[in-house]
Amino acid sequence: MLDGSETWAMTAEDMRKLARNETSMLRWMCNVNVHTRQSVHWKPSIDGSKVSLTYVSPCGQSGFPGELTITVTYELTDDNCLKVDYMATTTKATPINLTNHAYFNLGGHGIGNLSKHWLIVPAAHYLPVDKNCLVTGEIRPVDGTPMDLRKQVLLSEKFKELPDGYDHTYCFGNLEKKLIALVWHEETERSLKVSSTQPGVHVYTGYFLNGPVGKDGAVYKKYSGLCLETQHYPNSVNEAVPLIGSTGTFDVVSDGVPRRRVFDNAR
């Protein structure tokens, strides 16, 4: 785990190699090659109810130092939990921020929007964003704002306050496994509990879904799905903002030292 003793400084040469992060297209600057890695070949392996996918990012890819080996393991447990386990090692110290972008709709994938979903995110702080959905470098309390999700809220009511919905990171600030979010769908009575060892979660309610066609011909429009992306704080590699209750701001993977993070979904 990150203990605050590790450091990583971006050199002028590193800066020259990295793409600038000035629009929402490159939103997650802590990731290595985030916008193309989903299109590369991952090496799969199956072990009972687990499937593992491994990818080796060569040194210098997207300008980041070190050959980075990433393994993500998906496991469906006997107690109805989907566990996602991330592991990374590298040959040189490099920043990394791994997450997933799975969409959830407890009413069913073709049911429509999230209006009848209730949501709890027990975080006291969040990261405000600018017009391009990029974090500003501030950490703000949720008190007295539409960002306060510490008590259950009905998303249809929140969408009246926030027409663009949620596209924000909530701050927990510690690397222990903890409750991240609770979701409940009133008609089906299905529920989802999310826990993670990551210090933050990015809550996205699908505002930019513009009609892609999914399975059985379902059309996914605005608010069709909810993403709960457990991760470190976006752009924290470029900020001097400490984690709430912690000493580090982003994961630094050191030479030969594995880094592990866990994301659990249970209903």
Looking from the CA of 138 toward its CB, the CA atoms found within 13 Å total 8
Token couple for 90 = 């590298």
pLDDT given for residue 35 in this prediction: 42
pLDDT given for residue 10 in this prediction: 56
Residue-wise pLDDT for 102-157, tens only, equals: 999 999 988 889 999 999 999 999 999 998 888 888 899 999 999 999 999 999 99
Query: Considering only CA atoms, which of 93, 94, 76 is closest in space to residue 85?
Result: 76
Rounded to whole angstroms, the Cα distance separating 28 from 13 reads 20
- List residues bridging with 119 in a β-sheet: 153, 183
Please indicate whether residue 138 is annotated as part of the active site: no
* Cβ neighbours of 216 (radius 10 Å): 7
pLDDT band at 2 (very low <50, low <70, confident <90, very high): very low
pLDDT band at 262 (very low <50, low <70, confident <90, very high): low
Rounded to whole angstroms, the Cα distance separating 256 from 31 reads 19
Active-site option among 35, 101, 157, 187: 101
Please indicate whether residue 229 is annotated as part of the active site: yes
Active-site option among 168, 185, 202, 229: 229
Q: Return the higher-pLDDT residue of 202 and 243.
A: 202
Domains recognised in the chain with CATH numbers: 12-266 (2.70.98.10)
Residue-wise pLDDT for 59-92, tens only, equals: 888 788 888 899 999 999 998 899 999 888 888 8
Rounded to whole angstroms, the Cα distance separating 207 from 192 reads 21
Q: Return the higher-pLDDT residue of 258 and 119.
A: 119
